[in-house]
Amino acid sequence: MSDKSGISLVAEQLTKTVSSGDEPLTILKGVRLQIKQGESVAITGASGSGKSTLLGILAGLDLPTSGTIRLLERELTTLDEDQRAAVRAEGVGFVFQNFQLLPGLTALENVMLPLEIRVRSDVRPEIEALRLLTAVGLENRVHHYPAQLSGGEQQRVALARAFAGQPQILFADEPTGNLDRTTGTQVEDLLFQLNEQSATTLVLVTHDERLAQRCQRRLQMTDGVLSEPEVQ
Amino acid sequence: MRGRAAEVSTLLLALRLLRREVRSGELTLIFLSLVLAVTVSAGIALFSQRLDLAMEANANDMLGADLRIRSSDPLSDEWLDTAREQGLNTARTLTLQSMVIADCEMALAAFKAVDDGYPLRGELRVRGVGDSQASLQDTGPQPGEVWVEGRVLSLLRLEFNQDTQLELGGKPYRVTGIIEKESDRGGNFYTLSPRVMLHWSELEGSPMLGPGSRLAYRLLVSGDESDITAFRDSVELDVNQEFESLRDGNRAMSESVDRARRYLGLAAVLAVVLASVAVAVSARRYSERHFDVSALMRTFGLSRKAVLVVFLWQLLCIGLLATLFGGLAALFLQESLIYMLSGLVPDGLPPAGPFAWLVGLSAGVISLFGFGVPHLLPLSAVSPLRVLRRDITPVPVTGWLLYGVALVAMTTLLWLLTRDALMSAAIILGGALILVLLMALLRGLLSLAGRALQNRTLPLSLRFAWQHLSRDRTATAGQLLAFALTLMVMIVTGMLRTDLLEDWQQSLPDDAPNIFALNIQPFDRTAFLDGLDEQGLDSVPLYPMVPMRLTAVNGTTVSELDIAGDRSIDRDLISSEAGELPENNTVTAGNWETTHKGPGQVSVEAELAERLGFELGDVLTFRAAGVNFDAQISSLRSLDWTSMTPNFYMMLSPDLLEALPKSYMTSFHLPGGQDAALNQLVRNFPGITFIDTRYLIAQVNTLLQRLILAVELILVFVLIGAVLVMLSVLLTSTRERLAEGAILRTLGASRVQVRRAHQVEFILLGGLAALLALVGGELLVAGLYVGVLEIPYSSLGWIWAWLIPVTIIGLMVPGSMMLRRVTSEPPLRILRQF
């Protein structure tokens, strides 16, 4: 599904301005970015630098004020919300800082949800979800509700859910932000391991330098401007 | 194809999610509220329609004819001949109330003499001696024989066999049949005496037919519709004669059943309103709790429409399931109502048709779409960006849309339940007015409370609770309004129940007269009074009575006046002589002496005068015994109808009654155990009609008890509705209270402090809501009583004393249970769920 040239995501001159009180506030200032298929990219920056806003726009969850984004060969800025949703359904996965598991659903049901929404005749949601939960080491916790799981376990469920349906590209927003160092490392290991196995493009936003260093590329967000430091 | 596949998959997804939602209990309150709405509305719709069907489908059977003429004078032979000449079948009946005796026992019975043509229409089923089952009859009893209702025998303590005999009008009769069904009996709430049927010839010349007896002669006619119409056109009725429709024949029953039905309908409306409010509150909470789910589904690639459809499918499934359960419960409800009202409603009601089912069952879906679905609309507008920023919430649906749709749904429900556009409009307008009034009151109360609670010296828990309530004033106002409205509905239905029942069920002193003696002929007066003396019985004075009809007012015939349709116009008004002013009568206008002295004066009962618009000085024309005469109104009297002494609408100056044939009436108290004395009187004076009201009062009380049960059954549903509203409102804020309680605990507050803060909050909520309900309830009751029901205003009284504490406890108990986790679980575990 990626570009023939092997490009997953291209963003050109992205700006995002929101009205904050009387003054308009520019969060993104002419962001340009190109990510290849299978690449792992970390976007780092201080709190409030605009990195989460950028992630939301790159994933098609929000639109920029100006600029263009080409995600999985589709120009997102020309699409309406429902068309962008269709793009997400075809090949985008997410991992969130606060896990975003539905409290009323068991671990298994949470992982099944995107599979049930995307409906593919060759995939049986329950079997696929079980496989993924086993892959993240939660085969004994499939019928537990989120409240009955530890933070690390919850994020592992979220990882399993993110990889359900074999997305082309995975967006992760501070995936270990809510976890302690040891658990965070375990989740990171899992994330990169699954990423490698499925050759998924990974775009993650973090302020954790250590996590960022595990990615192939690191981008720095400073006050709405994205820059790529020289690789050392 | 792709479109259909997508729809199918949306449905499948909705069903899968629904299974999980049901398990998580998110939809329980909506489901229960819908079940309640369907149960009550379908129960009442089925009950009403079965009653209507019984009345209408068998109208002619119940009338016993295609056309019926009623007269208080003997029927003209001319009509009989005309009808027969026109090829119509005819029958004559004569009904009256009198005593029936067997040995030492006696009972008041409803006599019906029938000629050989009876019955014409409908069924007369009678069981003979030795028969195990009743058989259909094509004639009435033969001369010398009587057929009776089973109750007659049990009242007289008789067995039914070859030798069973009873005595009426001084003559013995053999009982040859037990009447099991008489379709033109016309069940009557107020005349509950059991039937005694005899041959027409038996009453001719009988002393029971004295001039003062309330006789009803009826000519029954059946045949082709065109012949019936021709006959109807050819008949000219006198003032004391009328064509009877089924409604007239069963007026007393229809009125009492109608009243019960109206009350049940109103109570049902309130239950459905409460259920709908609970649906709205729960749906709103459901919607808000699913913003995250919606955002996730959008992130996973579901379109806006698909997200909405998924939720709508879920709600629709819940609605259909609730309709199924509610429908089943409605079956039980209507059967229970019919069982409780047996004796008031006809036996063997036909099953309800599909329309009643449709109307009744639609309540769930209407309530769901009117009150629930609008709250779901924001779910389709949740931005997927919410997965990254929890603070992004969809634009709420405008109030106009929410209230507009709810108003349309409410009006539809009201109309379906009451079938009365005027009443529906009145309820909606009244409801809106009360709502506005309550809002204004609420604003005042909140600002008063705010000022009172600003004092920093007040305990922390009180200040904290108030800060919590006043932080989101809209939400607090919503909660208070929901609680207050619910309480108000409860207060008003409860008050109405008590006051209506008191209106129906008047208590009497133990020594109140319980036997009426009517039809005492002038030549019997002295002997009768002596007879009473001999038996040691005291009576109120003997009043002369003359049945007369009002024919004109100030020279204009009543048929040309607005009052022509009044129930006092087409019937005999039992009138008496203005001698001494009877006890229990109070002159409210004019002068009794003027009426008493005459000549040509009349005193009119005050309520009747007001209803018919009579004033002092008006000239009324009456017709009695074929004579017309005028009387001028010179006084108005108010009566105590419950005194069980003779009461008269009209009392005329003695000169007017002088020339008219009259009989006398009186009433006396028969102490318990002195039945033999009455027995002797009945034997000695066969021409006098004794009306033993003891059995009647007992019967009326039995029926009232049943009515109370039926009304209370519906009240239980109103109560369930109220509980559902309370629970759904409490649940709405539980999540927030849990989180805040947990934060307080992490900040070092003790369990007792947290618990107390919650308790104080419930005390404030309950107290304010109850206060609001009391003020609103007082206004509503005053408006209803004085404006609509025309019964004297009575204050809420003791309700003021207990409603506030009861409401506080009612909120605190379930509220504390919902919040138990704050103090029973580690705060971190609670916080992690938010």
| pLDDT mean over B382-400 | 82
| pLDDT mean over B692-709 | 68
Q: Is the peptide bond preceding residue B646 cis, with omega within 30 degrees of 0?
A: no
Q: Which of B204, B102, B231 is nearest to B155 (CA)?
A: B102
**Residue A222 contacts B where some CB pair is shorter than 8 Å:** no
Give which of B2, B292, B388 to mutate to test A binding, by max A Cβ within 10 Å.
B388
The domain segmentation of chain A, as residue ranges, is 7-227
B798 exposure class (CB count in 10 Å sphere: 0-12, 13-18, 19+): exposed
Lowest-confidence segment of A137-151, B65-79, B184-198, B295-309 by average pLDDT:
B184-198
The CA distance from A232 to the nearest CA of chain B, in Å, is 32
Task: Report the C-alpha gap between B622 and B552 in whole angstroms.
Answer: 7
- How much is the pTM? 0.70
Give which of B292, B299, B302, B387 to mutate to test A binding, by max A Cβ within 10 Å.
B299
Q: Would you say residue B128 has pLDDT above 80?
A: yes
Q: Name the DSSP class of A229.
A: P
Contact A113 B292 (CB under 8 A): no
Per the DSSP assignment, residues forming a β-bridge with A75 are A70
- Which residue type occupies B504? W
Of B301, B304, B387, the CB nearest to A117: B301
Contact A113 B305 (CB under 8 A): no
Which residue from B minimizes the CA distance to A93?
B300
**Residue B24 contacts A where some CB pair is shorter than 8 Å:** yes
Task: Report the C-alpha gap between A101 and B473 in whole angstroms.
Answer: 31
Which residue from A minimizes the CA distance to B831?
A147
Task: Report the C-alpha gap between B360 and B324 in whole angstroms.
Answer: 11
Classify the complex by whether its ipTM is higher than 0.90, answering yes or no. no
Residue B327: predicted pLDDT: 94
> What distances in angstroms separate CA B426 from CA B151, B274, B422, B431, B716, one per listed residue?
45, 18, 6, 8, 25
Task: Report the C-alpha gap between B695 and B704 in whole angstroms.
Answer: 14
**Residue A126 contacts B where some CB pair is shorter than 8 Å:** no
Which residues in chain B have their CB less than 8 angstroms from residue A62's CB?
Answer: 383, 385
User: What are B108-121's pLDDT values in tens digits?
Assistant: 788 899 998 888 88
Give a three-class secondary structure readout of B662-728. Answer: CEEEEEECCCCCCHHHHHHHHHHCCCCEEEEHHHHHHHHHHHHHHHHHHHHHHHHHHHHHHHHHHHH
| pLDDT mean over B347-364 | 84
The CA distance from B452 to the nearest CA of chain A, in Å, is 35
| pLDDT mean over B718-722 | 85
Report the CATH fold assignment for A7-227.
Rossmann fold (3.40.50)
Which residue from A minimizes the CA distance to B381?
A81
Angle separating helix axes A107-118 and B2-24, nearest 10 degrees: 160
Task: Report the C-alpha gap between B536 and B545 in whole angstroms.
Answer: 25
CB B14 within 8 A of CB B313: yes
**Residue A153 contacts B where some CB pair is shorter than 8 Å:** no
Place of tokens 């509980």: B723
**Residue B826 contacts A where some CB pair is shorter than 8 Å:** no
Q: Would you say residue A2 has pLDDT above 50?
A: no
How does the average pLDDT of chain A come out, rounded?
Answer: 86
Other CB atoms within 10 Å distance of the CB of residue B755:
18
Which residue from A minimizes the CA distance to B310?
A117
Q: Would you say residue B597 has pLDDT above 60?
A: yes
* Tokens read off for B473: 């004033």
Of B16, B293, B298, the CB nearest to A102: B293
Per the DSSP assignment, residues forming a β-bridge with A108 are none
Per the DSSP assignment, residues forming a β-bridge with B581 are none
- The CA dihedral of B588, B591, B596, B599, to the nearest 10 degrees, is -120
Contact A117 B297 (CB under 8 A): yes
Of B12, B13, B303, the CB nearest to A82: B303
Q: Would you say residue A30 has pLDDT above 70?
A: yes
CB B725 within 8 A of CB B37: no
**Residue A117 contacts B where some CB pair is shorter than 8 Å:** yes
**Residue B19 contacts A where some CB pair is shorter than 8 Å:** no
User: What are B613-631's pLDDT values in tens digits?
Assistant: 888 999 999 988 778 889 9
| pLDDT mean over A120-138 | 86
- Which residue type occupies B289? R
**Which positions 356-395 of B are in contact with A (Cβ < 8 Å)?**
383-385, 387-390
Of A88, A104, A151, the CB nearest to B300: A88
User: What are B164-176's pLDDT values in tens digits?
Assistant: 888 887 788 999 9
> What distances in angstroms separate CA B428 from CA B189, B271, B494, B780, one per listed residue?
33, 15, 20, 14
Q: How confident is the model at residue B570 (pLDDT cuts 50, 70, 90)?
A: low
Which residue from B minimizes the CA distance to A115?
B300
Distance of CA B433 to the CA centre of its chain: 25
Angle separating helix axes B28-57 and B354-367, nearest 10 degrees: 160
Which residues in chain B have their CB less than 8 angstroms from residue A114's CB?
Answer: 300-301
Q: State the pairing for strand pair B89-102/B601-605.
A: unpaired
